[in-house]
Structure 1
Amino acid sequence: MKILARRLIPYFILLFLPLLASASSVRRVDMAEVAGSAQLVFEGRVIAKHIEHTPGSRAIHTWVKFEILDLIKGQYDQPSIELSFLGGTAGDLSVTVSDMQIPAMGEHGIYFVEDISRPLVNPLYGWDQGHFLVQFDKDLRRQTVST
């Protein structure tokens, strides 16, 4: 029986490998879905960041505070919002989530927030699909929006 089980293990791995491989992927969506499904959309600037490590756990969250420059969609009556992203470094403990871009200090962008009422690994809709940078293009002499 043990020999049979050992022989079947590689087949079980091959059977479940596609499920494991897709577990961390993010489905690509079009702009209409990003805009329609986001609870909150705003133009803002990153004004503060801090990292929290829950004692006794390996969870680390980077809290990013945004100054809201323009509310595009949703209800929010404060001049700033703080969003939690899984990951960061606290002392000698680091947590990294592959392919996640945590907004940088001073960054100016348009942010599509999936849900402000519950904690998510990345609060932006579709991860990078809900994260657009606003930058000044010197050649064009105007602001541009990019992913």
Structure 2
Amino acid sequence: MSAKPFSFPIKVIPSDIDFMGHVNNARYLNWVQDTVLAHWQKLAPAEEVASKAWVALKHEITYRKPAFLDDEVIAETVLEKIAGARSFYNTVIRRGEDVLAEVKSMWCCIDAESLRPARISRDVAETFFGLPRKQEPFADE
């Protein structure tokens, strides 16, 4: 069961462009990170945002079309599942109707002080999934 999609607007700037005249492949991963973190910061309570951090564990990216300077791009991400300290996201990066890239990623929530993995509380998970308390938005792994 996934949460509602979260959209994050992106403006392609000159430093995004590589020697071939389009957005460098690595920049797409920065956009995914920016989007996932913005999603967390928007929905999580302030005390959770202050006490937790995120590190990427895995990205699987499929590039479909290039992006170019001054393109207006949208990254839309969906939190698919929470399993312990891990969160699984699907992100689609678009320019209008064109899909530029699709990214499956796994993130680990860490305690900002100890830098150790930190589970997402049930209350915080429910904020993201918008589920009644009886339903389980995350797996016990």
TM-score, reference length from structure 2: 0.28
Larger RCO (CA within 8 A; separation ≥ 6):
2
